[in-house]
Amino acid sequence: MTYDRNEEHAPRRFDEHAGSGNMTETSQLTAELEQWILDQVRAGQPPEAVLEPLLESGWEQQAAIDAIETATRGFLEAHARENGLPAPSRVPAPIGLNGPSVVDAGDREVQVLASVRHPRVIVFGGLLSDEECERMVAFARSRLSRSATVDLETGGDIVHEGRTSQGMSFERGADALCRRIEARIARLLDWPVDRGEGLQVLRYGPGAEYKPHYDYFDPDRPGTAKILQRGGQRVASLVMYLNTPRGGGATTFPEVGFEAAAVKGNAVFFSYDRPHPMTLSLHGGAPVTAGEKWVATKWLRERAHD
């Protein structure tokens, strides 16, 4: 039995697992296929190792992903319960491995520069135009300097104000530029605009860094339950580079020795299907060694964040 539409293109690897014989005309999650998928998951195969044979057999990518999700959901939930882990959530999954090199993001074509399976990381090229980056920086910079003036006038807590002046948050849909970028991100990541938080802009001066951290909310902290009422957990992050620092400033994933270079207009996306270190989503902004670094971060939630 195979799950091909076209036997001539039957991939050998899949045939070995599935045996040979009848050919199905359409992509269907038969009981046998469901069992085969579960066998792969139980054997510890990564999702791509399950997906690829289906794609090679002629399945549409989305249909194949849906079939794998359906087949594995119950198993993964039970596995999580038995091992004391948080249950996995659905996450934005914009492309598969060895997918297209260019993705249509509606009003712009975005390049796929690099991709890692675990942690799930994708580096995008040309997500923002130079002009969009410059407008975001100009807008944020004037806000930051204004807040510094207020500090001087009030003589407020300098350390605290100094920290907050390094960042500013937009409401979602705050202005036309934010709306345009948010719509593009929603299309690129196939994740609705209303499941995104407002953009957050950060500025790192020379020597500044963001120590490795997780972006999800720690389930063990007392304040987390209240945060989760509005849209659930964070399940993915998109860090967009608004300039190219003269030195340093990469986004690092220290557990896997991977870093995304900060290049103006590019972005690094990473997802984490549960609030747990097993996602390997620990990441940080490495020290800026020369010049400054500006980023805009978009966090994606499980549900609508209204």
Ligand X SMILES: O=C(O)CCC(=O)C(=O)O
Q: Which residues in this chain contact ligand X in the complex, by CB under 6 A?
A: 202, 210, 215, 237, 239, 251, 283, 285, 295, 297
Whole-number Å distance between alpha carbons of 3 and 15:
9
In the complex, least distance from residue 283 CB atom to Fe ion, rounded to whole angstroms: 6
Q: Which amino acid is at 6?
A: N
Kindly state whether residue 197 participates in binding Fe ion, applying the rule CB under 5 A.
Answer: no
Q: Which stretch binds Fe ion (CB under 5 A): 11-19, 115-123, 209-217, 245-253?
A: 209-217
Of residues 15 and 215, the one with the C-beta less far from Fe ion = 215
Judged by beta carbon, residue 71 or residue 199, the one nearer ligand X is 199
Strands 267-271, 251-253: pairing is unpaired
Q: Does 215 bind Fe ion (CB under 5 A)?
A: yes
Q: Cβ 275 to ligand X, closest distance in Å?
A: 15
* Long-range contact pairs involving 6-15 (C-beta distance under 8 Å, separation at least 24): 6/58, 9/56, 9/57, 9/58, 10/57, 11/53, 11/56, 11/57, 13/53, 13/56, 14/53, 14/54, 14/56, 14/57
State the number of binding residues for Fe ion (CB under 5 A): 1
The dihedral through the CA atoms of 153, 154, 158, 163 has a sign that is: negative
Spatial distance between the Cα atoms of 28 and 47, rounded to a whole number of angstroms: 18
Query: Nearest approach, Cβ of 111 to ligand X (angstroms)?
Result: 19
Q: What are phi and psi of 134, to 5 degrees?
A: -65, -40
Q: By Cβ distance, which residue is nearest to ligand X?
A: 285
The CB-of-285 to ligand X minimum distance in angstroms stands at: 3
Q: Which does 239 bind (CB under 5 to 8 A by kind): Fe ion, ligand X, none?
A: ligand X
List CB contacts of 221: < 8 A, sequence separation 6 or more: none
Contact yes or no for 271/92 (Cβ under 8 A): yes
- Least distance to ligand X, CB of residue 251, Å: 3
Query: Is 15 a residue that touches Fe ion (CB under 5 A)?
Result: no
Using the minimum distance from each CB to ligand X, give the nearer residue, 186 or 239: 239
CB under 5 to 8 A by kind: which of Fe ion, ligand X, none does 279 bind?
Answer: none
User: In this structure, are residues 289 and 247 in contact, taking their beta carbons and an 8 Å threshold?
Assistant: yes
CA-wise closest residue to 30 among 87, 74, 71, 73: 71
CA distance 259 to 116: 11
The phi and psi torsions of 241 (rounded to 5 degrees) equal -90, 120
Q: Out of Fe ion, ligand X, none, which partner does residue 111 contact, by CB within 5 to 8 A per kind?
A: none
In the complex, the smallest distance separating the C-beta of residue 236 from Fe ion, rounded to whole angstroms, is: 11
Task: Give the residue with the Cβ less far from ligand X, 71 or 239.
Answer: 239
Cβ 94 to ligand X, closest distance in Å?
Answer: 19
Q: Which is nearer to ligand X, 51 or 296 (CB)?
A: 296
| Contact of residue 280 among Fe ion, ligand X, none (CB under 5-8 Å per partner type) | none
Provide the binding-site residues for Fe ion, judged by CB under 5 A: 215
